Amino acid sequence: MGYPAIPLTRSRFDTVRRSFWIGGAWRDPVAGRDGPGTAVLDPSGRGAVGRVPLGEAADVSAAVDAARTAFPVWAAADAGERRALLHAIAVGITNREADFARLISAEMGAPVDNALTTQTRLAAEVFTSYAEILDGHAWEERIGTSQVVQEPVGVVAAITPWNYPLYLIAAKVAAALAAGCTVVLKPSGDAPLNAFLLAEVIAEATAEVGAPGGVFNLISGSGRTVGAALVSAPGVDAVSFTGSTEAGRAVAAAAAGTVKGLGLELGGKSARVILADEPDGTEVTGLEEAVRAALADVFYNSGQTCTSCSRVLVPDGLYDEVVRLAVEEAAKWRLGDPALPGNHIGPIATSAQFDSVLTHIDQATAQGARLVAGGRASREDIPEGLVEGYWVLPTVFAEVTNDMAIAREEIFGPVVCLMRYRDEQEALWIANDSIYGLAGAVWCANHSRAERFARQIRAGLVTVNNGEFNVRAPTGGYKQSGVGRELGVHGLHHFMETKTIQW
Ligand code: NAD
């Protein structure tokens, strides 16, 4: 596109960051290279693993200006040029996947195997999926005498959390770039290092394909300062936010001032319903597998998956059997050093999250739930070679009822709630009795019954039996779990404006 290639120094796998990626160059914060910064802490107790600058409102303005400057050029780029950039970013992530995995593991505690496969490779796949979507995508349609045209919305503010940091960034950045938008990203302050490495990858990709450097801009800082300034900046056209429902409400209120388009991916408290083979019968085909899948869903990533189904609903007649199986299954899960390969459970990602999970565990016992596995970790539970960290054992509570705080609030830790139901109508009622509607799951050997039940769950993503996650299909929340959808072709909509030209 006639843009000069940007001279780049190849990465040093830098974890001490002193500048922001703005307008195609590493730029010092307005407070200077040695201005305020924040340490990035390893949650397995190894101390600081890096540092990023704490930006301020003037940094936000510089990043938004750069994105605005790049917008008309990128909006005019054809599908082939956009595809080339998305593909180059996917390749760049893949080339450096070991670096990404090590970084993510160190900054948020995911065991390296998880950090490589789910966290990093899934992110690369999201970029690839959008390159594919652009192949033959229909941007226009004729409706009677009108030509209906899809156009990029403009400059997008992307604000992301720490639990699947790179993948959740990819879900926004890939879709926005595919749509022809330019982006200012503010990643989580708890796991920002992967975003700085991504900026290096995007820097190389833009240079390689000749895209304007300002298509992607990165600043770091607190949600209250940098996040809030970004959301209310007049130069930002749309906000795409993933995080807690509480912060999502604040973002929605701030975005209202300038009437911005808003995509919100928020919290959840999802239910998994184990159905008997016959309506309200007492046989469940594959019950052991059902319990294994239920626990794996909640223990993976230390329970820090927004779509995990932590309320497990079980027919009354099978309840004691399921509790026994769950206790057996939980005992197979081990805490382990995230720096080591394996399918163990890492620590909770942050100190605040750790305190919140422990508070929920204590509160559950006080409210009458029965702790049947796990709970607070003791010193002896800390994996070998480590002395500290935010460790919570894989935990199962029985006799949970839907009025208890652990059934109503998002815990975001490895805590399973086993709940009884009398008949399927009650199961459905309990599943939907939540302010959230992010996900759900059904286990049933009879596929048509499973599908009927899945259709009645008021949530954006429902898994049947061992159904697999698909980055080409949309995800998002009903109710207070969010607004809009991410991923796949539906994920483009938030980044597009629709124009009708009538003749
Ligand atoms: P968080 O809400 O504390 O922070 C998310 C991001 O928002 C961070 O970058 C933070 O700095 C920023 N932020 C906070 N307050 C802000 C404000 N007032 N204005 C602008 N930005 C602000 O969430 P977290 O603790 O990082 O992540 C965990 C939460 O994210 C959980 O609730 C989880 O369910 C949710 N989540 C949802 C999805 C989904 O797809 N629905 C996916 C992953 C995580």
Query: What is the 471 CA–ligand 1 centroid distance (Å)?
Result: 20
Rounded Cα gap, residues 304 and 310, in angstroms? 11
- Whether residue 57 is predicted with pLDDT greater than 70 in this model: the reply is yes
- Whether residue 7 is predicted with pLDDT greater than 70 in this model: the reply is no
| pTM for this prediction | 0.96
Which residue has the CA at smallest separation from atom 30 of ligand 1? Answer: 243
Rounded Cα gap, residues 466 and 290, in angstroms? 9
Q: Are 415 and 401 in contact (CB under 8 A)?
A: no
Report, as residue numbers or ranges, the catalytic residues.
265, 306
Q: What is the atom index within ligand 1 of the atom nearest the CA of 251? A: 19
Domain map of the chain by residue range?
20-266+481-502, 271-475
271-475: CATH topology is Aldehyde Dehydrogenase; Chain A, domain 2 (3.40.309)
CATH of domain 20-266+481-502: 3.40.605.10
Q: Using pLDDT thresholds of 50, 70 and 90, give the confidence band for residue 349.
A: very high
Query: What is the 266 CA–ligand 1 centroid distance (Å)?
Result: 7
* 411-454 residue pLDDT tens: 999 999 999 999 999 999 999 999 999 999 999 999 999 999 99
Q: Using pLDDT thresholds of 50, 70 and 90, give the confidence band for residue 282.
A: confident
Query: What is the 262 CA–ligand 1 centroid distance (Å)?
Result: 14
Radius of gyration of the chain (CA): 23
Percent of the chain with pLDDT over 90: 95
CB atoms within 10 A of CB 158: 28
* 300-330 residue pLDDT tens: 999 999 999 999 999 999 999 999 999 999 9
Q: What's residue 13's pLDDT?
A: 58
Render 435-489 in DSSP notation, one character per residue: SEESEEEEE-SSHHHHHHHHHHS-SSEEEETTPPP-TTS-B--EETTEES-BSTG
Q: What's residue 281's pLDDT?
A: 84
CB atoms within 10 A of CB 502: 9
